[in-house]
Structure 1
Amino acid sequence: MSRKWALKFVMVVSGLFFLAGTYPLVMSLWVWQHADDLVPMFLSLYVTLGVFLLAAARNPAEHRSLIWFTAWSSFAHAGVMLVQAGHDVSGRPELFGMSAILVAIGVPLVALMPRAAAGHPESRLTP
């Protein structure tokens, strides 16, 4: 299996995972009782990100910034959720599982990141 194919696979699976939030998003807005305002906001961001990941999977090398954003925003979100879960372990155990999923998305994206083309301005930023 080539690196490019593996990256495309991870992008498609991640995109579909994020798109799976469409149903809970629509249902939360349909019967919105203002109990939790954050869930629809986060779902809307992740559903949108899922659409763009699926589109970018056709040519990952042209969408490096989207891949970087997906990976690092997943790490950041996981970190925040772990801190929140650490403060109230019994009240929000699902935060541990969601954090693990976001890390499982970010790690392969970083590991499989395509190199920037030589002479491309972004190539100076890549370690």
Structure 2
Amino acid sequence: MTRERRLQFALVVIGLGFAVGLYPMINFWPAGFRWMPQQPQYEQMITAMYAVLGIFLILASRAPHKNLSLIWFTVWSSLGHALVMTVHAVTDLSHWAHLVGDVPALVTAAALLGVLAPRRLTSPPS
């Protein structure tokens, strides 16, 4: 399997996770994915944002070389989001489960895309 095929597969899997996986995880494992006190408006907003990002990642899988800015936005925004959540989880130990829930999920997604995506397009793919 070529690097581009692995990237396409990762984009679809991560895209599906963002698009349809976040809301169930918030309800299935609230300690690892829901911040307390429960804030339904926040959950709806963040779920909508990640659902849209997930859909665009799936669309980007058709031609990753044409969507590098979206892929790298996903990498860096996921790392930034994970960093902020880590700080909150460490400073308020009632949220420690996020360190084994949504934080590593975002870091894993960022790492996969960051390893598989080219830094820049050196030559147009054939």
| TM-score normalised per structure 2 | 0.78
How far 1:41 moved relative to its partner?
1.3
Q: 1: distance between equivalents of 2:62 and 2:123?
A: 21
- Given that 2:19 and 2:51 are in contact with CA atoms closer than 8 Å, whether structure 1 keeps it comes out as yes
Q: Secondary structure at the match of 1:20?
A: helix
Q: What's the CA shift for 1:117?
A: 3.7
Q: Deviations over 1:37-92 (max 9, x none)?
A: 32211111100000100011001000000000111110000000000000112x22
Aligned length: 110
Q: Which runs of 4+ in 1 moved over 3 A?
A: 21-24
CA distance in 2, matches of 1:54, 1:112: 15
Residues 1:72 and 1:22: Cα distance change in structure 2 (over 3 Å): closer
Q: State whether residues 21 and 43 of structure 1, in contact with CA within 8 Å, keep that contact through their aligned partners in structure 2.
A: no
Partner of 1:116: 121
1:61 equivalenced with 2:65 (yes/no): yes
* Matched residue type, 1:4: E
Structure 1 residues not aligned, in runs of 5+? 28-34, 120-127
What is the distance in 1 between the residues matched to 2:89 and 2:45? 20
1:14 corresponds in structure 2 to 14
Shift of the 23–74 alpha-carbon distance from structure 1 to 2, 3 Å rule, reads closer
Structure showing the higher helix proportion among its residues: 2
Matches for 1:1-127 after TM superposition, within 5 Å? 1-21=1-21, 35-36=38-39, 37-89=41-93, 91-96=94-99, 97-114=101-118, 115-118=120-123
Say which structure, 1 or 2, has more relative contact order (CA 8 Å, 6+ apart).
2
- The structure-2 alpha-carbon separation of the partners of 1:22 and 1:95, relative to structure 1 and needing over 3 Å to count, comes to closer
Shift of 1:94: 3.3
When the two structures are superposed, what TM-score results if normalisation uses the length of structure 1?
0.78
Q: Would the aligned equivalents of 1:11 and 1:53 in 2 still touch at CA under 8 Å? A: yes
- Unaligned runs of at least 5 residues, structure 2: 28-37
Deviation at 1:118, TM superposition (A): 4.5
